[in-house]
């Protein structure tokens, strides 16, 4: 067996309380309810339960609510950031700033609409890392069906730099 940092630990997860320790986002912009799988900073799976009471559905769209695509991409970024921050903490090198900013969004495809009542399974895989810049591929599934996919690049921002 490899070291524990590079294995997916069955049953391991990051709870919403721990997520709020990692990310500065809060309702309604905290878009991850739990991380259910982690393989260091290399890959992981987050869960987002989509509810009818979310504020975007009043305008997107009142008669046919659809979870906004830009928020699906944000959820991919948030799961990716949680992996990076949890891995740094587990490695004994916690990242002081939790401000991770988008650099690029590429190859995005929306395959099917996500609607209230759906549970998004957000799978992310690191493509590469250069310093504090990370590129991840994300795929979002509902009931095993691919709903959206794309690549994001983000950088950890040091406000003192």
Q: What is the pLDDT along the chain (161 residues), one digit of tens a residue?
A: 334 334 444 446 899 999 998 898 999 999 999 999 999 999 999 999 999 999 999 999 999 999 999 999 999 999 999 999 888 888 888 776 667 889 999 999 999 999 999 999 999 999 999 988 999 999 999 999 999 999 999 998 765 55
Q: Which of 60, 87, 112, 157 is catalytic?
A: 60
59: left (phi over 0), alpha (psi -120 to 50) or beta: alpha
The dihedral built from the CA positions of residue 76, 48, 24 and 95, taken in this order, carries a sign that is: negative
pTM: 0.89
Asked if 60 is an active-site residue, the reply is yes
């Amino acid at each position: 067996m490899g070291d524990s940092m590079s294995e997916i630990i069955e049953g391991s997860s990051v709870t919403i309380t721990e997520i709020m320790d990692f990310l500065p986002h809060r309702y309604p912009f905290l878009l991850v309810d739990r991380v259910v799988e982690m393989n260091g900073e290399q890959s992981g799976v987050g869960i987002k339960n989509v509810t009818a009471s979310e504020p975007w559905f009043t305008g997107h769209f009142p008669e046919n609510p659809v979870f906004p695509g830009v928020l699906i991409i944000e959820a991919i970024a948030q799961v990716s950031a949680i992996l990076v921050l949890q891995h740094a903490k587990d490695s004994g090198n916690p990242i002081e700033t939790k401000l991770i900013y988008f650099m690029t969004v590429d190859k995005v495809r929306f395959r099917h609409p996500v609607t209230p009542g759906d549970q998004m399974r957000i799978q992310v895989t690191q493509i590469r890392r250069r310093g504090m810049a990370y590129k991840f591929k994300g795929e979002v599934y509902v009931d095993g069906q691919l709903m959206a996919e794309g690549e994001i690049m983000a950088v950890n921002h040091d406000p003192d730099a």
